[in-house]
Amino acid sequence: MFLDSDLLLSALRALTPILLAALGGAICERAGVFNIGLEGMMLMGCFTAVATSWFTGSAWLGVLAAALAAGAYSLILAVGAVTLRGDAVVLGVAMNLLAVGLTGFLLRTVFGVQGTFDDPSLAGLPLVGGFTPLTYLSWAAVAVAAVLLSRHVWGLRLRGVGEAPDAAATLGVSPVKYKYGAILTSGVLCGLAGAQLALGNVTLFTENMTAGRGWIAVVAVMLGRAAPVGVLLAALLFGLAEAAGFRLQGLGLPQQATDAAPYVVTLGALFLTTARRRRRIRPSGAAS
């Protein structure tokens, strides 16, 4: 049977990195920063988690280091887009490209290998009920973010900074501080996403192992309209697509075709969302 509980469990495991990164992107979106650097932040988290776990023998130190490293890496976007008022999209693309080259260089420099580092002594995250603790943390983060963004004064101010920064400044709210806070939070969440991918879903590091998951997280933010619950549903859709791809691969389909499943779903979701929005904004007198 194709649709069963194992498929759902696999989907829940697959959605965790996407969900954590997408929550970070949603927070940035609320602050008025379109963060497409999620892929690069995740990749930095992946390498840092593996390197720290291997050197210290502790997966939890790897998780902590990944969160700190990705948070520090996000400062490139914060300084460039907020302080220097550069183009956030250009900066995000540059960060993604830099992360691929930098982690590949560090892989050869630190471990002396090229392509993949896979050591039996590498400590991975423990499983609790079939999931890592980071999976449960991602679900809790959805609830916390939903409350903070919709009911807490911090979330209301963040939304004000994103929609009308000048008006927020006249009320004593610092747009710079809130934007910095949103971007740093996004970096930390992406670091946790990278740690989950490298120490939870698998226990290794391979070059460019995020494989577009950060871009899928950006799409999840768009589909979920930067709302935590909406982002969760969008991430679940992509998690199901990834799990279904692995299941189809087990049934004999070529790996290249099954690997494309999440991206086909992404393109389809974007197409349907764009078509729906166009219908909504079409003038009432326009011809059908």
Tokens of 115: 């392509």
User: Is residue 39 a contact partner of residue 158, using CB atoms and an 8 Å limit?
Assistant: no
* Residue keyed to tokens 């698998």: 202
Q: What is the pLDDT of residues 145-193, one digit of tens each?
A: 999 999 899 999 999 999 999 999 998 999 999 999 999 999 999 999 9
Q: What is the pLDDT of residues 21-65, one digit of tens each?
A: 999 999 999 999 999 999 999 999 999 999 999 999 999 999 999
Query: 201 versus 4: which is more confidently predicted?
Result: 201
Q: What ranges in the chain are assigned the alpha helix state H? A: 5-30, 38-56, 59-73, 75-77, 88-106, 133-151, 153-163, 165-170, 175-196, 213-223, 228-250, 255-259, 261-281
Rounded to an integer, the average pLDDT of 95-102 is: 98
Query: 8 versus 277: which is more confidently predicted?
Result: 8
Rounded to an integer, the average pLDDT of 103-114 is: 96
How is the chain split into domains, by residue range?
15-212
- Phi then psi for residue 74, to 5 deg, are -65, -15
Rounded to an integer, the average pLDDT of 215-227 is: 92
Give burial (CB, 10 Å; 0-12/13-18/19+) of 164. middle
User: Is residue 20 a contact partner of residue 189, using CB atoms and an 8 Å limit?
Assistant: yes
Q: Is 131 helix (H, G, I), strand (E, B) or coil?
A: strand
Which of 262, 139, 150, 136 lies closest to 210, judged by CA? 262
Q: How confident is the model at residue 236 (pLDDT cuts 50, 70, 90)?
A: very high
Is it the case that residue 287 has pLDDT exceeding 50?
Answer: no
Give the amino acid at 5: S
The pTM of the full predicted model, rounded to 2 decimals, is 0.90
Tokens of 38: 């999620």
Q: Report CA torsion sign: 247, 253, 255, 261.
A: negative
Q: What is the pLDDT of residue 281?
A: 60
Is it the case that residue 288 has pLDDT exceeding 60?
Answer: no
Q: How confident is the model at residue 257 (pLDDT cuts 50, 70, 90)?
A: low
Q: Which option is the CATH number for 15-212: 1.10.10.60, 3.30.70.20, 1.10.3470.10, 2.60.40.10?
A: 1.10.3470.10
* Number of residues written out for the chain: 288
